[in-house]
Amino acid sequence: MTLIKFEKFAVEFTLGNGRQFTALKGLDLDIPKGQFVCIVGKSGGGKSTLVRSLAGLTLPTGGKLTVDGQPVTGPSRDRAMVFQEDTVFPWMRVDENVGFGLQGLLPEKKRERIEKWLQAVGLADFSKAWPRELSGGMRKRVALATVFAMGSPVLIMDEPFGALDFVTRANIHAILLDLWRASGTTVVFVTHDIEEALVLGDRILVVSDGRILDDLSCDLARPRDEDVLGSTKAVGLRKAIIGHLGIGRQPMLESADQ
Amino acid sequence: MFEVINRQMLDRRRFMQLLGGTAAAVAMSSLALDLAYAAAPEIPSVVAKTGLVSYTNHTWPIIGIRNGYFEEVGITLEPSDGRIIFENQTVPLLQNDELDIATIFVGVLTPVLDRLKDVRPFLIHSYWQGNTILTAPDNGIKTLDDFVAEGLSFAEAARLTVEQLKGEKLTVPPTISTRPWLEFIYDFGGLKLEDSELVMLEDPNAVQLAVSNGVKFAAPAGAVQIYQLQYQANWRPLISTRQLVKYAGGPDGAPVQKILNFDGFAANTDYINEHKDTIHRFNSALYRTMAEMFGPNQIAELEKQVPYVNAANGSSLDAAAIKFIFEELDPFFTWEGQARVWLDENDPLYYKNVYSYQIQKFMEDKAIAEGEYDLDELFPARAIYLEAVEMKKKAEELAAKADAAGLSEEKRALAEAGKVWATKYNFLDAVRFLEAALAD
Amino acid sequence: MGEAVADRQISSISAPMRPQAVALLRWLPGLVGILGTVAAWHLISEARGNVPSPEEVVTNIWTNLFSSDRLPGIGLPKGGYFPHVVSTALNVLLGGTVGAFVGTISGLFSASSQRFGDVASPIATLIGTVPIVIMAPFFLLWFGLSGLAQFALVAMYTATTLHLFAKRGAENMPKELLEYASILGTRGWDQFFHLRLPGSLPEIFGGLRIAFAGAWGLAAVTEMLGAQFGSGRVITALRAVYDLTGIMAVVLLLGAMAILLDILLLALRRYILRWKIS
């Protein structure tokens, strides 16, 4: 069942010098419920504009965007977002951060939900800590707990783990996938890291120059260990993506031993 | 300190101007005049950083500046019209040598007599009898004049007048120089100063507050502000020294003399001791100015002060207003009047008669330490005046000798120059020129 | 065995300092600074005859703090310096607090609303640049001698300072935090109280310290215009009798009060910004 639908979706910006820049050019895209979609592409290709539009932070200049049949007109708790930048509120303790999106809930229910999701991300012992006392990876886990605690049907992630080291990133991938499976949330995940896309996504969109160049099904077996990522299918996916992105051209300079 | 910029300011042109239209000069040959000039004693050219407090009776030297009297005796003021200062700036500016000379209200020295010993007046030029408490028009308050007009005795009228100040706000200047006068006045009503709410404000701010009905009573320190309130804003004198003199008998034998205060010119004591000659020449320019201010062309001379005092105070006085101030509020001691201050022990304005009471009062209030205070130490002006008197006498003797001596032409020219200096109150150079004329 | 030895060696190298030693080390530079200043002051007073020495000033404070025979003699009410310094402190605290409140709200609003900011910010800048000695006589005329003039002047200048600092604090908030907050369902007043205000507190505290430090001088200057009580009143009376020792004594007392208030502000800052300060 289609949850997210882009129809001839276009976004144009007016630059400082008065020129028009088209970030997204009449894009058509359907995303079914529960799918984990990764978006890869070069910088400036339109990936962030696409997900910010989905989050309601950027409004279109043409076309339509609906989520569960409703047009997107602005930010909403139904479309939670995790940013690349650290968005944990420094002046709130961990539990207050997680509970910030739970206004309207009874205090007892709120506390239950906070404890549940902190447990899920492995931060139950840090509920009263200040964000400054946590590492970068731990703060990302707080952000995950916050958005999953809200129970949003759509989760948008814009290069959320770009600043983390390899090991921390791998750990947090595992946590994210666990949370996704447990909640059934539809995830739209932007990354510039092809390997990350292969680890996480059911589907990989290659976006460049405001268009979707390719829509690749990534039905590799889970969990995606080294064997799976080294399989012929994975290699083929990798090559396809690289091909679209124009990486792997002839070297500019002759090598020394020629 | 005084800065000497040229040894000799008396060039030939000035020498000729000095002799002016004297009969001797008219009759003399050019050669004789040249020889006389060559033999003339030097008059050094000095620069004096001078400050004038913005009061009317402190800014009058501008008349002498405009008339060139200071320049004639070799003194260049810096800035050329004097620097306008506040009353409480006089002492600090003299102490740190930012000024060489400044006008001074002696009332700022007496409350600190035990601590401040390096700034002293070298000339006293006027006395202040203008202390006034003024009250707003149409506020139902009765003045001393009103009570006396109802037929009450002075004592009763004064008591009722002063009692109206109880619990009221009264603006006073930030200096405590007016305290003895205020305490004297409050005594008439059996009150202490604490019975009123004293509001310390500089005079211009006090006037602004008064005319905007911010207070009912004001006692500014300056004649300009008293004149502004009384004669321009129609405030009424509640009680004043003038009224006391009028109703309680004049200064002669009355206690009112105890609440008078002198104004003068002051310098650092080191300077006074090291530059006596320049002080005498400076004073001569001042005496000369005073003679013109109270002479036959009084209004024309006072007109020269009008723009200066108005610019300094933001006031709109005219020459007639200044004349009034100098007659009613700040009477002057010209050269002839100096004897009242320094010599005549029976005169109520004799310096000891004026200041002994005030100093005693400050000791009782613990404003100054108990002790014996030598008023001659406070007033080097007395010694300087006595020196000038001696020099005048000597000049007269030398002039008589020169007339009888049968001098050569050029010597006669020098003697004439000496006599001219004497007419300009410059007795120092009168003696020097006459001595040069009589020298072999 | 080898591990135990290694553990002991490690613990002896990196033994933590006792809390008392840490506290002393933190205060030591300030103490050295104060002692150095006093020493320099003493040397200057020895070299120049017209500078009272630290000993003379301290003696003057000791003699005149709670009662004084001298002060009534120069036109001041009975009692020593203390009631006057307290009066100035009250002016600073009340005027400063009201001004800080008004300025903070206005600064935060200016960051949230372009229209409000376009109106309020130029006014704050203009008022803040007018020297207090120019404004003070006007306040005297408008508010009279009731003491309201002093309060109003301190409040006004504190408000302009806090307006600028609060506005800057709110404007420097990362855009992503605001977007994130709106995604989490926060709008309007909720954003103001949960985001802009707490997020601007570090800048606001910076502005508070600066504003209150300056407020002492402002309060004293306004008291020189007709106040019955206050350090400015005392300084005016002492200046009239060229009592430099007394003036420095009052200034030192004001400085001590200012330091005390700053210490309290720092303590408050440590508590409120405990999320930022370890």
Selected for mutation to probe chain C from A53, A96, A100 (highest C CB count within 10 Å) is A100
Tell me, yes or no, if C145 comes closer than 8 A to chain B by beta carbon: yes
Tell me, yes or no, if A81 comes closer than 8 A to chain C by beta carbon: yes
Q: Is A18 within a domain? A: no
* Pairing label, strands A154-158, A79-82: parallel
How close B284 comes to chain C (CA, Å)? 31
Tell me, yes or no, if B199 comes closer than 8 A to chain C by beta carbon: yes
Domain ranges of chain B: 3-128+261-385, 132-259
The complex's ipTM works out to 0.87
C-contacting residues of B 144-183, CB under 8 Å? Answer: 169, 171-172, 174-177, 179
C-alpha distance from residue B282 to each of A70, B287, B377, B430, C263 (Å): 98, 9, 21, 14, 57
- In the predicted structure, residue C14 carries a pLDDT above the cut 60: no
In whole numbers, what is the pLDDT of chain C averaged over residues? 86
Q: What is the pTM of this model?
A: 0.75
Q: Is A250 within a domain? A: no
- In the predicted structure, residue C6 carries a pLDDT above the cut 50: no
- Three-state SS at C277: coil
pLDDT tens figures, B262-272: 999 999 999 99
Q: What is the pLDDT along chain B (440 residues), one digit of tens a residue?
A: 455 555 567 777 778 778 776 666 666 777 777 778 888 888 999 999 999 999 899 999 999 999 999 999 999 999 999 999 988 889 999 998 899 999 999 988 998 898 899 999 999 999 988 899 999 998 999 999 999 999 999 899 999 999 999 999 999 988 777 888 898 899 999 999 889 988 888 888 899 889 988 899 999 988 889 988 998 899 999 999 888 877 875 444 456 666 788 999 999 999 999 999 999 999 999 999 999 999 999 999 999 999 999 998 888 899 999 999 998 889 999 999 999 999 998 888 899 988 988 888 888 888 888 998 999 999 999 999 999 999 999 999 999 999 999 888 888 888 999 999 999 999 999 999 999 999 87
Q: Is A65 within a domain? A: no
Which residues in chain B have their CB less than 8 angstroms from residue C237's CB? 174, 176, 200
Tell me, yes or no, if A153 comes closer than 8 A to chain C by beta carbon: no
State the Cα torsion C133-C139-C144-C145 to the nearest 10°: -40
Provide the 8-state DSSP code for B328.
I
- In this structure, which CATH number among 3.40.190.10, 3.30.360.10, 3.40.50.740, 2.40.160.20 belongs to the domain B3-128+261-385? 3.40.190.10
Q: Is A76 within a domain? A: yes
How close C99 comes to chain B (CA, Å)? 26
Which residues in chain C have their CB less than 8 angstroms from residue B362's CB? 73
Number of domains in chain A: 1
pLDDT tens figures, B364-423: 888 888 998 999 999 999 999 999 999 999 999 999 999 999 888 888 888 999 999 999
- Three-state SS at A157: strand
Interior angle at CA B217, CA B213 and CA B221, nearest 5: 110
Rg of chain B (C-alpha set): 24
CATH number, position A40:
3.40.50.300
Residue B387, judged by CB atoms within 10 A of its CB (0-12, 13-18, 19+), counts as: middle
Selected for mutation to probe chain C from B179, B194, B197, B200 (highest C CB count within 10 Å) is B200
Name the strand (E) or helix (H) holding B429. helix B427-438
Using the beta-carbon criterion (under 8 Å), do C241 and B201 form an inter-chain contact?
no
Q: What are the two backbone dihedrals, phi and then psi, of residue A157, each rounded to the nearest 5 degrees?
A: -135, 115
- In the predicted structure, residue A258 carries a pLDDT above the cut 50: no
Q: Is A15 within a domain? A: no
The yes or no reply on domain B132-259 and CATH 3.40.640.10 is no
Q: Which two tokens stand for residue A225?
A: 């260990």
Task: Work out whether the CA dihedral C242, C246, C249, C255 comes out positive or negative.
Answer: negative
Q: Is A172 within a domain? A: yes
pLDDT value for B418: 94
Among C226, C223, C105, C99, which residue's Cα sits nearest to residue C152? C99
List the domain range (segments joined by +) for residue A195. Answer: 35-59+72-245
Q: Is A22 within a domain? A: no
Task: Work out whether the CA dihedral B423, B427, B431, B432 comes out positive or negative.
Answer: negative
